[in-house]
Every structure is written in C-alpha cells, then in structure tokens.
Amino acid sequence: MKTITPQDAAALLRDGATLVDVREPDEHARERIPGARSLPLSRLEEAELAVHDGKRVLFHCRSGAHTASNAERLSTKVGVCEAYIVEGGLDAWKQAGLPVAADRRQPLELMRQVQIAAGSLVVLGVLLGALVSPWLYALSGFVGAGLVFAGVTGTCGLANLLRMMPWNCVANRHAVTAAA
C-alpha cells in the first residue's frame, strides 16, 4: 500500500476517493476529517467496506503508525481498489491546515481517560501512603498490577469500568459506518 501526503489526499477526496478512519469510534466521534468513514482496526475482520472497483481508498489514524503497521490487513478490505495510507495521519492533516471536524462535547478518548484515572490513583496512593498510613501505598501497587495485567492479557479492567460510565455511554452507541 502506498503512502500519500495530506495535501494529495485532500485532492483525491475532492475527486471522489473514500477516506477511512481506522481509529476507535470514540476517537472518531471527538475529532475527524470531514467525510471520513469509521472502520476501527479492532473491528476490521467483521466489518465490510463497500467500495466500487477502481475507486481510490485512503486510510488514516492519528499519527499514521497504526495504519502503516496494519497495511496488509487493510489491503484485504479494498479488493482491486487503489489504496493509500495518509502520511502522518490526522496529526499531519491538521498541521497542513486542512479542515477537521471536532466535537468537544464528546468525552475524551477512552485510553486518555484510563491514563488520567490510573495516574491519579497512583498519585493518590503515594500521597495517602505518605500522609495517612503506609498501607495506602498498596493503592499504587494495585494500579500498577492492573496495568501489568492489561498489558499481558490485552484486557483492561479500568477501561471496561470507564466504558460503562454515563458520560461514555452515548459515545459507545455511535454506529460504525464503513459504506462508501
């Protein structure tokens, strides 16, 4: 799969190319390139990407790294279409001064919420351990153990808990749209 600059990608979009955002739905809902379809890498195998033969398809993520590392998986979805990866992803698109649709009413991306919550709990555990009781250092240890478990198994209990919070429920109902 070839790479393409954001400026060249914008020109292809004006000519009718299909743009596919491979980030998670919560990321897409908060900030996206106008007209981009959402097809998260986590749902790639089960989803259909309806594109007409010969049509150009452009893929992007936040920085371009996830798209590039999954180029082979993505190429199976495009058939005989000409496919490209947008160099630098959404970040490069914004740096090029190209339009972005942002909805700041959407919650922060789930992984950012996990990072904020885990970091806050670690700091809280250290402060409480120093000021109240050394036993409360265990809170920081518990969070660290949870992060190790998440890294080893690919299952993050904190992310699952945060996903069920009321502010995230609306974002989770966004449908994956991958038809062109």
Q: Which residues are catalytic?
A: 61
DSSP letters, 7-41, are: HHHHHHHHTT-EEEE-S-HHHHHHEE-TTPEE--G
| Token duo for residue 171 | 């974002």
Cα distance between residue 48 and residue 45, in whole Å: 8
179: left (phi over 0), alpha (psi -120 to 50) or beta: beta
101-102 and 56-60: which strand pairing? unpaired
